[in-house]
Structure 1
Amino acid sequence: MSQAPGDTPEDRRRHARGLRAHLSGEVAEAQVARHYEALGFVCRETRWRGPYGEIDLIMEGSCLAFVEVKRARTFAQAAPRLAPAQVARIGRAALDYIARHPDLRLKPMRFDLALVDGKGEIRLIPDAFRFDQGV
């Protein structure tokens, strides 16, 4: 007798790993949002999704920070997880967000990378990447 798709031991392990990754990502994003708030920012959005992709955090202070959060055992493992294709998606999503919020069009903006290591320590890299609108 064969098992139903999605009901094998490997499928259950894969699902459990995915759920752990999703939940640890949510925890890391909440930690980073609190860190920004301690710096005087206000959280406008968490996991904002538009037609071009998702932005982990949108924080507003002296500027509008579009924040990508990467979590790994070490900062060195987390940093390279931001791929060029993801930078392009985040940039297009940010432009879409700004288009939907005309009151923010004159606000300076930047793209930050927030790294969270296995101990829960946070390293912020403000203005970590640029988005070329021609991409």
Structure 2
Amino acid sequence: MSQPPAGPDLDRRRAYRLGLGAETLAAWALRLKGWRILARRFKAGPGEIDLVARKGNIVAFVEVKARRSRDAALEAITPASRRRIVRAAKVFVARHPKAVFHTLRFDVVLVVPGRWPEHIEDAFPDTD
């Protein structure tokens, strides 16, 4: 049996599966640290938040990045992607007004092969 030819569609499906797996792993890592996952893949207009999590009085909008290295994962969080996340977070808060009574922040979880996911708290400011 031959393999289907590689191409943009196959690459896109692989990237989607990799991202979904990384988000699942990140969600479990956060749960083990006491976080409750409020939403996964929250979409709002052109923006998307991978995970929305709550622990105590904190609601974190979490960007998950899976790359071959920690540096590559950090580099993948561009100013444009941060702006999209911030805009989506504002929509989330508008739809969930009780969220304003919590400390809101933007976290990142880096998923690198062979390592436990790294949770970076308050990774970037709300600058939109």
Look up the SS of the partner of 1:82 in the other structure: coil
Gaps of 5+ in 1: 1-8
User: What TM-score results when the alignment is normalised by the length of structure 1?
Assistant: 0.86
The list of structure 1 runs, each at least 4 consecutive aligned residues, that deviate by more than 4 angstroms after superposition, is none
Identical columns (%): 34
Higher-Rg structure is: 1
Look up the SS of the partner of 1:128 in the other structure: strand
The letter of the residue matching 1:51 is: G
Gaps of 5+ in 2: none
- Decide whether the 8 Å contact of 1:48 with 1:55 is kept in 2: yes
Look up the SS of the partner of 2:37 in the other structure: strand
Rounded Cα–Cα distance in structure 2 between residues aligned with 1:98 and 1:52 = 16
How far 1:52 sits from its partner (Å)? 4.0
**What is the root-mean-square deviation of aligned Cα atoms in Å?**
1.2
Q: Which has the higher strand share?
A: 2
2:91 aligned partner: 96
User: Map of 1:16-55 to 2, 5 A cutoff?
Assistant: 16-55=10-49
Question: Are 2:103 and 1:130 aligned?
Answer: no
User: What TM-score results when the alignment is normalised by the length of structure 2?
Assistant: 0.91
